[in-house]
Chains A and B, each alone.
Chain A
Amino acid sequence: MTIDRERSALAVRNADALVFTADMYGIQFDQLAALAGGERAARAAVARWRTLGYADSARLSPGPAWVWVTKAGLATCGLSYPPAQPALSRLAHIRAVTAVRMALQSTAAYQLARPFWRCERRIRSRHGVGVRQHLPDAEVHWPDEAPVAWAGECWAVEAELSPKTVARTTAIMREILVRTGDYGCLAADAAVPGKPARHARALYVCSSAAVGTVLRARAELGPLAARIEVRDLPRDALL
């Protein structure tokens, strides 16, 4: 029995998808199918993960079931995130961010440059508890040697489903653009005059309900508005 278990533990299907799922808190089945290359492959992968105890699944929202990585799965992936089922109130946001990541990953430039997607869960795991700072939904770190014009840049990604107030959105944009330190750094290093900004630009991917507020907030920024990119959410990003 032990030998069988060890043998089966080696045969993790779609290990990249498992890490992806762990990074994104959880993933809905249709998005996993797109990631794994088909519904059949996704079903097989989920079944395998469940057998190994690496993942769990349930129907948490309308639409396909959700899959998330368990404590054992996180340990296997070498990730030290606190294990948890995706929060019901965040499902829509998680799906939107996942759709943004998949849309960006599918572009030719992304596949060519192979940047690093630093997810919110990873940022949060380093971030101190109780510190009131806004965390972006993700950071995209483009390698210095990447054959693109924006090589070496770090982007902050924000998926906006619901409109905040214009003042609040403007404050978040400014906070992102003037930040110099990494998340989790000392408070004194967070925004130091004279140091280069951490995020070269902020990418706002918005729903139709939020895009008006984001555009108005960007207009309030003055010269900094040039570093804000506003785009529409992919069609299948909404729950």
Chain B
Amino acid sequence: MTRFGGRRAGPGYVWHPVRRALARGLGRLVCVLLALAAIALLAPVTVVAAGAAAFGWWRGWPPRRLFAAAAWCLPMVVAWLTAVAVWPVVPGGTGGRPPGGAGLWLRVLAAPGRAWLAMLHLAAHGQLAAAAVAAAPPAVPLGILAGGLAWAYRIMRMETGAGGLTPAAPAAFDARQWGHQVRTATAMLAVPGALPLISRGGDVVTGATIRSVAHRAGRAAAIPYPRLRSHQVVIGSTGTGKTTLLLRLWAGFMAAGLRRYAAGGADRPLLVVLDCKGGASSRKVADRARRVLRDAGARSTAIWPDEASLSLWELPPDRLVTTLLDLIEHGTGGAAYYSDVMEALVSLAVGAPCGPPVNSADFLGRLDADWLSAAYAAAGDAGAVATVRSGKRAFDDVSLRFRALWRRLGAGLDGGGSFADADAWYCILEGTAESAVAEAQARALTDLLASYATGGGREILLAVDEFSCVSRRLPIWRLYERARSLGLAVQVSAQSWEGLAGSDDERYRVAATADGGIWLLRTPRPEPIVELAGTRSFVDTSRRYSGAGSWEDTGSSRARLVPVLDGDIVRRLDVGQAAYIYRGGVTYVQVKRLTGRQAALAPAIVRDAAPAVMRDAASAADTLPLPLPRVWPGDGADPPSPRPWPLPGAPGPVHVPDASEVLDEAFGARRE
């Protein structure tokens, strides 16, 4: 039996290299000619397919978007087929009736062929537009589908290393596609309304999707609200858009939380940000955060300690004792004795029969042996009085340490505020300039928040930026575990993997427990996160080099595991681009920047009249949340008294009639 077209001939026949090359060349020529004929025959479909594949390449689309586009054409096809089926039969004249039964189905089945014939006739008569319209209903969806298949095949060939003229072609293809995908995502950011903060499904939209690996992502990169209620990690170097991403996430948390709260599905959200760097940059971020959160629906954003204060004294007495002791640094060894003495005296001061102290002055006033003796003697507590007597010599030392502590801490923890007073708290800790103070503040703030969280009634997100600056006394993993037990979500951000925590063990512990995902911006050492992100199956193809200047299309393929996250892409990420790692998949996102409404300017007429130095200070004060320390001209001169604002028509002291009568009746006493 002879195999038609088989490669083996009869016995004794030897393939000659020249004959073999000629046969192969002829075979390819025939194939090409057949393909060209098919392309010409199905011209409308092939033209659309080529256009769709080219469009997919140009926009960097995944093939499924072309398939979706083809699916969206189906209503047009159904309408066209319906029209063909029910159109009245006109046998050689006007009028007629719709066909029925088998005739109807025959017309539907023959419709594509008739459309193709109609197109040929119209094209032959030079009516190209009419020809295109006649062929469009079947050709457009089929063409897009074919283009999608071709594009998927091309991607598959390139991803497996089997496509392209050289083995380097897949890498070049991937780099080009990355550029196309970034361009598409950036263009989407510019479309007004294309990326709302909250999607129709209630998800938080962070930006436009550039590329996704093992994630099913749409054009808009959105994460469900519950992930923001889980622990998250954000890592990115300075100037990579980390603050922009964080603001977007915070605003999304606030907006989605308020929406759920309004629908009665959740408690009111509370955002607490601990910015552990401090300085002017933190205050600028605080101002941006306030504007953005206000637009997201937050009623109020308190900036601590500059504009708002909290009260440490609202802690339960037992918790207050622990917190006060933790604020003071203790030694070890022989110093443990003094720690015990201090603990005893602080417990006595806090647990005095008249109730816990209400402020620092009250507390410091109680660190007095006579006062405590009298207080406990009046209550008949002889044991406490004996303790006071035995520790009498230590009172001065303990009092001195706490006086120094409160002088350094300032009034931020000695006010009357509570976390309940605002929807968002932006707490600025001077971790860079005064690390010891910031450490104590961080400890106190987390204790206050933990105490507030135990009361329930709020969905809390605690965002800590560069917490490693202040984590000497409160390791971040302990904060994590504590937050988990209280139902708080913690979002940790750092400039590098090393800034995430003090030791590698802690870093892995923090990153591995980020249930809500990891956000990675450009960073020079992404390897630990690459390792944590996991792997995926990948087909690796080798190609044989013939030695004649080209690579043959023979080789071998094998499946192996490669990291889901490409570390080289992370190192090359541009400003505003981030990789979101979640459950063994990665989505690369172009983050959409949120811009809060700008504050209005003061009247220009007065601004122009002010001296230059004052004008600078005033303009800066419009953008910063704090009154800046003013710089006055002249060396060593005392600052002049504040220049009164020019009051049109009423210079000098201002006298207005007393309107307390109506205002007291309406709103109560005047606030001073």
Which residue numbers of A lie inside 8 Å of B, CB to CB? 60-62, 88-89, 92, 100, 103-104, 106-110, 132-134, 148-150, 153, 161-168, 171-172, 174-175, 177-180, 190-197, 200-201, 203, 205-216, 220-224, 226-227, 229-234, 239
In this assembly, does B656 line the interface, its C-beta being within 8 Å of a C-beta of chain A? yes
Q: Which residues of A contact B605 (CB under 8 A)?
A: 190-191, 193
The residue that B659 contacts in the complex, of A88, A150, A166, with Cβ under 8 A, is A150
Q: Which residues of B contact A153 (CB under 8 A)?
A: 656-657
Q: Are B300 and A210 in contact (CB under 8 A)?
A: yes
Asked, given contacts A109-B661, A226-B654, whether A62 binds B261 with beta carbons under 8 Å apart, the answer is yes
Chain A, interface SS category: mixed
Q: Are A109 and B662 in contact (CB under 8 A)?
A: yes
Q: Which residues of A contact B663 (CB under 8 A)?
A: 203, 229, 231
Give the distance to chain B from A228, nearest Cβ to Cβ, in Å: 10
In this assembly, does B653 line the interface, its C-beta being within 8 Å of a C-beta of chain A? yes
Q: Which residues of A contact B645 (CB under 8 A)?
A: 174, 177-178, 221-222, 224
Q: How far is the CA of A88 from the CA of B254 in the complex (A)?
A: 13
Asked, given contacts A107-B666, A165-B624, A194-B649, whether A88 binds B308 with beta carbons under 8 Å apart, the answer is no
Q: Are A226 and B627 in contact (CB under 8 A)?
A: no
Minimum CB distance partner of A165 in chain B:
B625
Asked, given contacts A209-B421, A212-B307, whether A226 binds B656 with beta carbons under 8 Å apart, the answer is yes
Minimum CB distance partner of A210 in chain B:
B300
Q: How far is the CA of A100 from the CA of B622 in the complex (A)?
A: 28
Give the distance to chain A from B125, nearest Cβ to Cβ, in Å: 55
| Stretch of B59-67, B512-520, B543-551, B596-604 that contacts chain A | B596-604
Asked, given contacts A166-B627, A226-B656, A231-B671, whether A195 binds B644 with beta carbons under 8 Å apart, the answer is no
Q: Are A166 and B626 in contact (CB under 8 A)?
A: yes
In this assembly, does B422 line the interface, its C-beta being within 8 Å of a C-beta of chain A? yes
In this assembly, does B638 line the interface, its C-beta being within 8 Å of a C-beta of chain A? no
Q: How far is the CA of A191 from the CA of B604 in the complex (A)?
A: 9
- CB contacts between A and B, total, < 8 Å: 191
Asked, given contacts A167-B626, A167-B627, whether A175 binds B671 with beta carbons under 8 Å apart, the answer is no
Q: Which residues of A contact B662 (CB under 8 A)?
A: 104, 107-110, 148
Which residue numbers of B lie inside 8 Å of A, CB to CB? 261-262, 264, 287, 294-303, 307-309, 417, 421-422, 598-603, 605-606, 618, 621-622, 624-627, 642, 644-650, 652-659, 661-663, 665-668, 670-672
Q: Are B600 and A230 in contact (CB under 8 A)?
A: no
Q: Which residues of A contact B299 (CB under 8 A)?
A: 92, 161-162, 239
Chain B, interface SS category: loop
Q: Are B659 and A162 in contact (CB under 8 A)?
A: no
Interface centre among B295, B296, B622, by most chain A C-beta atoms within 10 angstroms, is B622
Q: How far is the CA of A131 from the CA of B646 in the complex (A)?
A: 23
Minimum CB distance partner of A198 in chain B:
B648
Q: How far is the CA of A109 from the CA of B661 in the complex (A)?
A: 8
Q: Which residues of B contact A110 (CB under 8 A)?
A: 662, 666
Q: How far is the CA of A104 from the CA of B668 in the complex (A)?
A: 11
Asked, given contacts A61-B262, A192-B648, A196-B649, whether A231 binds B667 with beta carbons under 8 Å apart, the answer is yes
A-B contact pairs, 8 of them (CB 8 A): A88-B262, A108-B662, A132-B600, A168-B599, A178-B645, A196-B650, A212-B308, A222-B645
7 A-B pairs closest in CB distance: A162-B300, A231-B667, A167-B621, A165-B625, A149-B657, A109-B662, A230-B671
Q: How far is the CA of A154 from the CA of B349 in the complex (A)?
A: 54
Q: How far is the CA of A61 from the CA of B309 in the complex (A)?
A: 29
Q: Are B625 and A232 in contact (CB under 8 A)?
A: no
Q: Which residues of A contact B294 (CB under 8 A)?
A: 89, 162
Q: Are A213 and B300 in contact (CB under 8 A)?
A: no
Q: Which residues of A contact B625 (CB under 8 A)?
A: 165-168
Q: How far is the CA of A103 from the CA of B671 in the complex (A)?
A: 17
